[in-house]
């Protein structure tokens, strides 16, 4: 899995990714659980409606999302999606629409950011019917390069057939 880990670590150090996480962490300060649940519900409704996305587009239109889309496209099929979460598990940027907005109850967040710098999560291999291939999620903590404080998580679905 080192083949996927190296580019993921490099993406986690990109200024555009670090800036997106930092800005998002500031914008989410003081939000309570009820508001986060409402936002997660809005995300789900938008995905099912498919005609008008406001919150989803807010994430997908960020410059960091464009960077992740390019990184996915240049991965030669190694990554089927790449996304970044903030320090409370909210989607900051993504290479494509995500099924959920708030990831704080998922192992990809629980086993990385709270564990600190250098933490890595490997999800179980799963067959992706849409791709027709096996994939595995890999997530790692993104830390501030100056303070070394955990600020977010970068996660990618790695196409195992591409390894």
pLDDT tens digits, 132-148: 999 999 999 999 999 99
Pairing of strands 150-159, 79-85: antiparallel
Distance CA 57, CA 47 (A): 10
For the chain, how many structural domains are there in total? 1
- Per-residue pLDDT at 2: 59
In the predicted model, what is the mean pLDDT of the chain? 93
Query: Which residue range is the domain that position 97 belongs to?
Result: 2-162
Tens-place pLDDT, residues 67-124: 999 999 999 999 999 999 999 999 999 999 999 999 999 999 999 999 998 899 999 9
What CATH number is attached to the domain comprising 41?
A: 3.30.450.20
Residue written as token pair 């990184």: 71
């Amino acid at each position: 899995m080192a083949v996927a880990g190296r580019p993921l670590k490099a993406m986690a150090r990109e200024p555009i990714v670090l800036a997106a996480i930092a800005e998002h962490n500031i914008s989410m300060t003081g939000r309570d659980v009820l508001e986060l649940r409402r936002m997660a519900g809005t995300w789900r409704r938008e995905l099912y409606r498919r005609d008008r996305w406001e919150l989803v587009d807010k994430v997908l239109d960020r410059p960091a999302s464009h960077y992740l889309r390019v990184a996915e496209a240049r991965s030669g099929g190694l990554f089927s999606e790449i996304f970044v979460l903030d320090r409370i598990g909210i989607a900051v940027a993504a290479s494509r629409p995500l099924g959920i907005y708030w990831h704080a109850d998922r192992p990809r967040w629980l086993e990385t950011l709270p564990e600190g710098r250098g933490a890595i999560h490997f999800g179980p291999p799963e067959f992706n019917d849409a791709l027709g291939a096996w994939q595995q999620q890999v997530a790692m903590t993104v830390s501030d390069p100056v303070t070394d404080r955990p600020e977010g998580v970068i996660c990618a679905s790695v196409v195992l057939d591409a390894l």
